[in-house]
């Protein structure tokens, strides 16, 4: 067992990184799955009897690994984040002329048809109306962007800020803003290749085969 900066542990025998945040403990299985497309990575995670990682969980992991660049596991995760991308199970559905429904698909279930109602009754489903800022933006705008907050979750915004500040460049955000019918999209976190800032890509088709991810132990 190795102690890591950021209130975390590395358990080599169990192949785990354990992160404690307030009263919540998240156990990340190591090594990473990939490279592959979204569906294949998520299938591999499920086949390992693991849960898919949300964007909130992945940003917390990035917050820790960026504080432990001398550790081989952490450096491997950083390398994939900076040079490729990390798939997250936080998915989006664009509703024409309305906004975007954001949900954490940790079990790989197909979303309901009546998603707007789920946003009222289920905290796992969040709705953000159009009007939020996309593309490159200052850190203050990013941290107050309702789309970003709904995507990561308010309880993870501290980690978002620390990661963004550590990367030292303006963050980036993308989302599918126009569609004729409800459109499902898949998301990834990466270091932007242009500015080297934190990038949230929220309008992917899931077909790119260069992505990585890792499972969460129950």
Tell me which of 45, 66, 85 is where a domain ends: 85
DSSP of 103-160, one letter per residue?
Answer: EE-TT-PPPPS-HHHHHHH-TTEEEEES----EE--HHHHHT-HHHHHHH-GGGHHHH
pLDDT of residue 113: 67
pLDDT of residue 116: 78
Tokens of residue 124, six digits? 């796992």
Question: Which H helix or E strand runs over 35?
Answer: strand 33-36
- 143, part of any domain: yes
92 and 35 housed in the same domain: no
Domain coverage including residue 27:
2-85
Q: What is the percent of the chain with per-residue pLDDT over 90, rounded to a whole number?
A: 88
Q: In what order do the strands lie in the sheet with 16-21?
A: 2-4, 8-11, 16-21, 24-29, 216-217
Tokens of residue 217, six digits? 């132990």
pLDDT of residue 201: 97
113 and 138 housed in the same domain: yes
Residue where the block lists tokens 């936080």: 90
73 and 106 housed in the same domain: no
Tokens of residue 110, six digits? 């197909």
pLDDT of residue 207: 96
Indicate whether this model's pTM tops 0.75.
yes
- In this structure, the number of other CB atoms found within 10 A of the CB of residue 215 comes to 23
pLDDT of residue 111: 74
Residue range 93-115, pLDDT digits in tens: 999 999 999 999 998 887 766 77
59 and 147 housed in the same domain: no
92 and 34 housed in the same domain: no
Number of domains present in the structure of the chain: 2
The segments of the chain whose pLDDT lies below 70 read 112-113
């Amino acid at each position: 067992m190795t102690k890591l900066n950021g209130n975390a542990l590395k358990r080599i025998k169990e192949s785990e990184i354990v992160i404690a945040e307030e009263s919540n403990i998240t156990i990340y299985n190591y090594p990473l799955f990939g490279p592959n497309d979204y569906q294949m990575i998520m299938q591999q995670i499920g086949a390992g009897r693991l849960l898919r990682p949300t964007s909130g969980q992945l940003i917390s992991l990035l917050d820790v690994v960026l504080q432990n660049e001398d550790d081989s596991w952490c450096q491997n995760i950083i390398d994939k984040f900076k040079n490729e991308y990390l798939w997250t199970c936080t998915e989006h559905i664009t509703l024409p002329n309305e906004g975007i429904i954001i949900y954490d698909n940790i079990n790989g279930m197909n979303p309901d048809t009546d998603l707007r109602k789920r946003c009222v009754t289920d905290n796992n489903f969040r709705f953000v109306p159009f009007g939020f800022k996309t593309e490159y933006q200052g850190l203050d705008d990013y941290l107050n962007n309702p789309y970003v907050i709904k995507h990561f979750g308010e309880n993870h915004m501290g980690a978002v800020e620390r990661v963004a500040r550590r990367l030292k460049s303006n963050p980036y955000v993308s989302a599918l803003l126009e569609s004729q019918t409800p459109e499902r999209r898949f998301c990834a976190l990466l270091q932007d290749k242009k500015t080297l800032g934190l990038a949230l890509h929220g309008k992917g088709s899931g077909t790119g085969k260069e992505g990585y991810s890792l499972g969460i132990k129950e």
